[in-house]
Amino acid sequence: MFEQRKDTERRIKEQEAIEIVRQEQKKHREADLRPQAGINVPLQNIPVVYPNLAEVRFYQGGAVPKQETYVPSTDDLKGISHKRSIDFDNLVRSDKRYTGVIGNPGAGKSTLSKRLAKTEEYTTFHINFMDLPDDDKLTLPEMLININYPNLDEETWKNAFEWVKNNQSQCLLVFDGLDQADFTFKKKFAKHTYDTKQFVQNIIAGLLNKKYLPGVKIIITSRPHSMLNLPHSLQPNRTIFIRDLSYDNMKSLFYAYTGTRAKSLWFQLSQNAPVVFSLCYNPLLLQLVIAASLNPSKDVGEITTTTRVFATVLEGLRRSDNTKPRDIAGLILQVFKLKLVIQNLFKIFMITYFYCAAD
């Protein structure tokens, strides 16, 4: 009788702790889905749309182009073999434990991962690879909960992790941006207890190959090259290729972002700047084009070229109270470090500062 009461009390504490974590998660997720700085639209006015998704035989070859090229798309997925189109719900409802989501820069991988984190079918833990330390050791509970919600007291996050251990089939782990990780995975590593402090790459590797929490579902997003370089034992059970918006979804977002100026800007860009307009199929570039169009710079002029898009965005960041002058050189370096190559038209840019002016 005493043991039953003690077990009941333990379960109640764990349930209360995970509810606290869920409330913290909800606060973070709403803020994470804000549009690009310069687009002042309430989150509730932005339609929930998803890029084109296709399940591909990534590790059997022929799944994606050899070069990471940006080709504006409409409703199809040209150039990808061994494909099967899927919808968003299939990502979480699949019977596969571990899914890799790949796509080129700006295709919507991070936004998709944040949408996944909002699913109510699972208790979801969203982790950015770029936020993980590469030289500090953590325990698994610290990496999953404490590092994201440092304001929680130790008893709460430890009880929440106990709930996770006892309810693994109800949990989804979403790791965003493998290509931004500051570490690499080793082919072999030692298994430790959940409370052992170790490097995060060892913890994640243990999660991927079922040494830790074998009953949870896992989704990892990445650019293709980083996913391809994973050791065989850490490769996903299936791979989803994410590539741009359909015409209807792009137009829906365009109109939501631009409000009363939607028709005039749509006509202006489609007629006077067709190359810039073609960028709008890419979710991130859509926001940058609109941010530049809504907040033109007198020094740059009307948005008619991609060069003017990025010059206007950078000028806006330079004038922002949230961006210090000494950071601009580093920002520009990051913008051009990763490049999207637009087929047979021009070579330019990449953007890694999606939300850099928002904080």
Task: Please identify, among 243, 270, 302, the residue that sits at the C-terminal boundary of a domain.
Answer: 243
In this structure, are residues 287 and 39 in contact, taking their beta carbons and an 8 Å threshold? Answer: yes
Residue 353 within a domain: no
What confidence score (pLDDT) does residue 337 get?
Answer: 39
What is the rounded (10 degree) CA torsion for 343, 346, 347, 353? -100
Residue 209 within a domain: yes
C-alpha span between 41 and 46 (Å, rounded)? 7
Q: Do 95 and 168 belong together in one domain?
A: yes
The residues with which 31 forms a beta bridge, in sequence order, are none
Residue 39 within a domain: no
In this structure, are residues 60 and 82 in contact, taking their beta carbons and an 8 Å threshold? Answer: yes
What confidence score (pLDDT) does residue 29 get?
Answer: 63
State the chain's mean pLDDT as an integer. 80
Domain total for the chain?
2
What confidence score (pLDDT) does residue 171 get?
Answer: 95
Task: Please identify, among 208, 243, 278, the residue that sits at the C-terminal boundary of a domain.
Answer: 243
What confidence score (pLDDT) does residue 342 get?
Answer: 33
Mean pLDDT of 294-314: 85
**Tokens representing residue 270 in the block:** 């489609």
Q: Do 9 and 26 belong together in one domain?
A: yes
Q: Do 209 and 271 belong together in one domain?
A: no
Q: Do 239 and 251 belong together in one domain?
A: no
Residue 335 within a domain: yes
Mean pLDDT of 63-75: 45
The pLDDT of residue 163 is above 60:
yes
The pLDDT of residue 170 is above 90:
yes
What confidence score (pLDDT) does residue 115 get?
Answer: 86
pLDDT tens-digit profile of 131-143? 898 888 999 999 9
The pLDDT of residue 269 is above 90:
yes
Mean pLDDT of 203-219: 94
For the entire predicted model, the pTM comes to 0.80
Q: Do 236 and 260 belong together in one domain?
A: no
Residue 111 within a domain: yes
Residue 98 within a domain: yes
Q: Which of 31-40, 243-252, 298-307 has the lowest mean pLDDT?
A: 31-40
What confidence score (pLDDT) does residue 93 get?
Answer: 86
**Tokens representing residue 217 in the block:** 């579902």
Q: Which of 16-30, 41-55, 106-120, 338-352 has the lowest mean pLDDT?
A: 338-352
Mean pLDDT of 63-87: 54
What confidence score (pLDDT) does residue 321 get?
Answer: 56
More confident residue, 36 or 58: 58
Q: Do 80 and 141 belong together in one domain?
A: yes
Q: Do 204 and 261 belong together in one domain?
A: no
Q: Do 263 and 131 belong together in one domain?
A: no
What confidence score (pLDDT) does residue 127 get?
Answer: 92
Q: Do 261 and 230 belong together in one domain?
A: no
User: In which domain, by residue range, is 160 found?
Assistant: 2-32+50-243
Residue 264 within a domain: yes
Residue 177 maps to which CATH number? 3.40.50.300
Q: Do 226 and 124 belong together in one domain?
A: yes
Instruction: List, in order, residues 6 or more apart from 217 with CB less than 8 Å away.
Output: 92, 97, 98, 99, 122, 171, 172, 173
Task: Please identify, among 213, 243, 273, the residue that sits at the C-terminal boundary of a domain.
Answer: 243
What confidence score (pLDDT) does residue 68 get?
Answer: 46
Q: How confident is the model at residue 40 (pLDDT cuts 50, 70, 90)?
A: confident
Coil, helix or strand at residue 79: coil
Q: How confident is the model at residue 320 (pLDDT cuts 50, 70, 90)?
A: low
Residue 103 within a domain: yes
CA angle in degrees (0–180, nearest 5) for 245-249-254: 100
More confident residue, 176 or 35: 176
What is the crossing angle of helices 2-32 and 109-117, to 10°?
Answer: 140
Length of the chain: 359
Q: Do 263 and 124 belong together in one domain?
A: no
What confidence score (pLDDT) does residue 70 get?
Answer: 43
Q: Do 128 and 55 belong together in one domain?
A: yes
Cα 97 vs. chain centroid, distance in angstroms?
19
Letter string b/e over residues 119-153, b meaning 16 or more CB atoms within 10 A of that residue's CB: beebbbbbbbbeebeeeeebbbbbbbbbbbbeebe
